[in-house]
Amino acid sequence: MLPGRLQNATRSSAGSPGSGLYDNLQQYDIPYPEAIFEINYFSHNPKPFFALAKQLYPGHCKPNCAHYFVRLLHQKELLLRMYTQNIDGLERMAGIPPEKLVEAHGTFATATCTVCLETFSWEQLREDVMQKKVPRCPSCSGVIKPDIVFFGEQLPAKFHLYLIDLPSADLLIILGTSLEVEPFASLSEMVRKSVPRVLINQDLVGSVTRNPLRVNDVVELGDIVGGVKRFSEMLGWNEEINNLLTREHEKLNRENTERSKSH
């Protein structure tokens, strides 16, 4: 039986060392790969970041069944909170409400002027970003920075605000993560010892590789989407998730078509 309140942690961000994106930064005029995601370098020269930003911004991919599995948890009032290191916005695109999300490394959904702190939506930045331009504030001409967490910046206050959720969770689901970056990596240890933890991942990660598994832990290694589908099948949710995915993808396709026509 699935318990009534859940905590969920997801895979690591696009800017992590070792990812395909990170390993292909040599084409940009930067002193070393990490610089493109460092706040000090961005403040000095934002152009390389915005040359790359077109690849990072939402819209290139659609949510998969793992995202819609979490959406279904929310619809069934089983989702307490979803923690994610992703900055691609796929969780929001899948229909998981912002109040249920803790985007530990920030989000591209919103942006802030680095000078006057005026806030902007992704839609307001889209045209400049798609043309690889540095977006400027219409009020003060300051650089508009997406609300993602650069190296050298603090995690969002929301990350610390909702840590109180973990001791009250009935189940922890960990999907596709390296659990290497702190303090995110320690979340898996913050649920009560008696709480089951379900790890669906390519490999054993984090404290699972250092400490013995807890008696209630469940590990499913291999393809993450395949693991989520097997979990959904055990719950009798596959048809619901498939219908949700089909319906939402059709909706996203219509929106993209309408957006293309308007431009």
Is position 105 annotated as part of the catalytic site? yes
Which two three-digit tokens encode residue 252? 């996203």
Instruction: Work out the angle between the directed axes of helices 224-235 and 238-262 (0-180°, nearest 10).
Output: 130
**Alpha-carbon torsion, ordered 117, 119, 123, 126, to 10 deg:** 10
CB 81 within 8 A of CB 191: no
Residue 189 per-residue DSSP state: G
Please name the residue that has the structure tokens 């970041």.
49
First to last CA, the chain: 49
Closest CA to 49 of 60, 35, 63: 35
Of 60, 105, 160, 249, catalytic: 105
Decide if pLDDT at 226 tops 50.
yes
Average pLDDT, the chain: 85
Please state, in angstroms and rounded to a whole number, the distance separating the CA atoms of residues 256 and 95.
16
Q: Residue holding tokens 């802030």?
A: 112
**Please, what's the largest Cα pairwise distance for the chain?**
58
Q: In the predicted model, what is the mean pLDDT of residues 219-234?
A: 94
- Whether the CB-CB separation of 104 and 85 falls below 8 Å is answered with yes
pLDDT digit string (tens) for 65-81? 999 999 999 999 999 99
pTM of the predicted structure, to 2 decimals: 0.82
Q: What is the pLDDT of residue 243?
A: 96
Give the model confidence (pLDDT) of 34-55 as tens digits: 888 899 999 999 998 998 887 7
- What is the rounded CA–CA span in Å between residue 198 and residue 177? 13
Predicted pLDDT of residue 58:
63
Of 55, 121, 69, 33, which Cα lies nearest the Cα of 244?
69
Please provide the DSSP assignment of 110-164 as one string. EEEETTT--EEEHHHHHHHHHTT---B-TTT-PBEEEEE--BTSPPPHHHHHGGG
Which of 2-11, 45-54, 119-128, 161-170 comes out lowest in average pLDDT? 2-11
